[in-house]
Amino acid sequence: MAAAISADDDALEPSLQNLIDQKSLRWIFVGGKGGVGKTTTSCSLAIQMARARKSVLLISTDPAHNLSDAFSQKFGKDARLVEGFTNLSAMEIDPNGSINDLISGAGDEAQDAMSGLGGMGNMMQDLAFSIPGVDEAMSFAEVLKQVKSLSYEVIIFDTAPTGHTLRFLQFPTVLEKALAKISQLSTQFGPMLQSVIGARGGLPGGASLDDLTQKLESLRETIAEVNGQFKNPEMTTFVCVCIAEFLSLYETERMIQELASYQIDTHCIVVNQLLFPEHSNDCKQCNSRRKMQKKYLDQIEELYDEFNVVKMPLLTDEVRGVESLRRYAPIVPFKDPMLRSSVTNKTGQFFRDADSSIPTTVMILALMRRGAADDDDAGTGLHSCIHTGVRR
């Protein structure tokens, strides 16, 4: 697969090799704005991870699933081996199907109860499908299932666009607090509820309130375990994917701030679809586009000097199928023929064209950070407030 790059120039460091080498990682989230290459990056990372781990699971939490298209293989709600692999599986979570599975898994009584409601039962199912956050709930239910099964050594999430993903990552904290409150209420009012339930014939299936309370407590403990793992940088990290444009950079900064507030580690950024024209290229469109991208690349380097920033070129072929994904893999850094005139990152200085304007993007995002820092109760410094990740 060809890319518009020169073969004899200095390589762009670093790469995502640090994720492969970090053996303690169990959860890897890949996310960003829609259309920036999240699925391609997550699929490629999963292929590379399968070389170093015994078992890898790739899960799509995006309602508009693309894993089947990326691998040219049909995936569904159940994990299925990727063709050509014995230790890499993939699945696409279907919220509607997952709710039906929950009803089916609850036993004959639950199904009979829904059937007995007739048209009302169908309406209740339709209502459940339309509840805001049902996608995130079903995705988190799959996480809980994987925690209990311990079937895979590492799990990679090809996430939905930023908004869905942030709600999903916030879900365990919200649910843990809610279950803790329910547990507290059941302790306070348990005897009274037990007498009321007994007078009405008891719970379905002969279950007692104590049994229900124990199940809720067990669920809360599992969720607390997941929440703890998500906040542990040795076990969980988030890979941000973006392109060198203002809107994508702005959303990436917003996402990094949110991840910091959730105490979720992020120290890798993949910048996709970069043009690397050779010096002899006389295409005005290419050179103009490259000049614009170079401006935002400089700003990314300045904003995220503590991060592993991986620069990936715009390819001449689409990335589809296992072999294409292998070649795309953002592990080996690509080479930039325009980078020779840059000043090295070690001095904290960055190349700027003579006619470039003041980096307004950096100024805007710096104001965002200042606002976040002002809201930080701990009163920590700018970078410690916003960035949870460190170069590994």
Q: Which residues are catalytic?
A: 62
Residue 35, marked binder = yes
Q: What are the residues facing 309 on neighbouring strands?
A: 269
Owner of token pair 């996430």:
159
Residue 202, marked binder = no
Residue 198, marked binder = no
Residue 107, marked binder = no
Q: What are the residues facing 80 on neighbouring strands?
A: 90
Residue 268, marked binder = no
8 Å CB contact between 280 and 7? no
Owner of token pair 């990372």:
45
* CA nearest to 387, candidates 229, 376, 27: 376
8 Å CB contact between 204 and 109? yes
Q: How far apart are the first and last CA of the chain?
A: 30
Residue 215, marked binder = no
Residue 371, marked binder = no
Q: How far is CA 10 from CA 62, 67, 273, 286, 344, in A?
A: 37, 33, 19, 21, 12
Give the amino acid at 255: M
DSSP string, 290-302: HHHHHHHHHHHHH
Residue 242, marked binder = no
Residue 385, marked binder = no
Residue 34, marked binder = yes
Sheet holding 80-81, edge to edge: 80-81, 88-92, 56-60, 154-158, 27-32, 236-243, 268-274, 308-313
Phi then psi dihedrals of residue 160, to 5 deg:
-75, 170
Residue 228, marked binder = no
Residue 283, marked binder = yes
Q: Which residues are annotated as a binding site for Zn(2+)?
A: 283, 286
Q: Which residues are annotated as a binding site?
A: 33-40, 245, 272, 283, 286
Q: Which residues are annotated as a binding site for ATP?
A: 33-40, 245, 272
